[in-house]
């Protein structure tokens, strides 16, 4: 469905309207992305949102209920490698002039740093409209801030809805994207340092 809609609305050479999400925790996600990328060539702007994954628990439950082999990767390391490799593939395509746009959606400082380094090595402009970074608002805010300050296109997913609607969604993100927990620990120290800096500036000005 996403592929057909991109064919209709993502006009070649123009800003894409639709992105297709690729969940790299699923076995075969790279194959599906490469297939779609090849199919899009010279037909429409291929826009991909790369995430590590969501609904891991539901996927496992579905596999048990249907007595099928689970499509979830067995280790987080495999998912991390698939994520970084896929982002690298798309960045290389962009550097070679392909009509591709990528949203790098991650709370991992390591993955964001790897992508940012590759952007520089490939000669892609940091402010390119073809490369975007994104995190959930309230999570890894220091990472989003650093990316934006460095000139990259950095975005925040703003949650909207009632507590009853959002809380299960947030729990899934915490369970399925463990990088956020470590990021929150790092961010706490940065926030404390910023509070101290601001207090000192106020005291010094008084």
Tally Cβ neighbours within 10 Å of residue 64: 10
Phi, psi of 31 (to 5 degrees): -65, -45
**Cβ within 8 Å of residue 120, ≥6 positions away:** 126
Question: What does pTM read for this prediction?
Answer: 0.81
- Taking CA atoms, 48 is separated from 29, 87, 173, in Å, by 12, 9, 20
Q: Smallest Cα–Cα separation from 19: which of 89, 94, 105?
A: 105
For residue range 60-105, what is the model confidence (pLDDT) as tens digits?
777 778 878 878 888 889 999 999 999 999 999 999 999 999 999 9
* 150 or 197, higher pLDDT: 150
């Amino acid at each position: 469905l996403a592929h057909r809609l991109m064919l209709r609305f993502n006009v070649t050479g123009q800003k894409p309207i639709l992105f297709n999400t690729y969940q790299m925790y699923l076995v075969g996600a790279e194959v599906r992305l490469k297939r779609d990328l090849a199919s899009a060539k010279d037909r429409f702007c291929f826009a991909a949102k790369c995430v590590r994954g969501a609904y891991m628990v539901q996927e496992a439950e579905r596999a048990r209920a249907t007595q099928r082999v689970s499509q979830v990767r067995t280790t987080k390391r495999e998912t991390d490698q698939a994520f970084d490799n896929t982002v690298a593939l798309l960045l290389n395509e962009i550097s070679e002039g392909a009509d591709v746009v990528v949203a790098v959606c991650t709370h991992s400082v390591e993955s964001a740093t790897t992508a940012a380094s590759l952007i520089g090595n490939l000669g892609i402009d940091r402010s390119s409209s073809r490369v975007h970074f994104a995190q959930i608002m309230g999570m890894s805010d220091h990472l989003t801030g650093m990316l934006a300050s460095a000139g990259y296109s950095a975005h925040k997913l703003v949650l909207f809805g009632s507590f009853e609607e959002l809380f299960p969604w947030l729990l899934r993100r915490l369970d399925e994207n463990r990088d956020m927990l470590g990021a929150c620990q790092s961010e706490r120290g940065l926030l404390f340092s910023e509070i101290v800096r601001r207090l000192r500036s106020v005291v010094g000005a008084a």
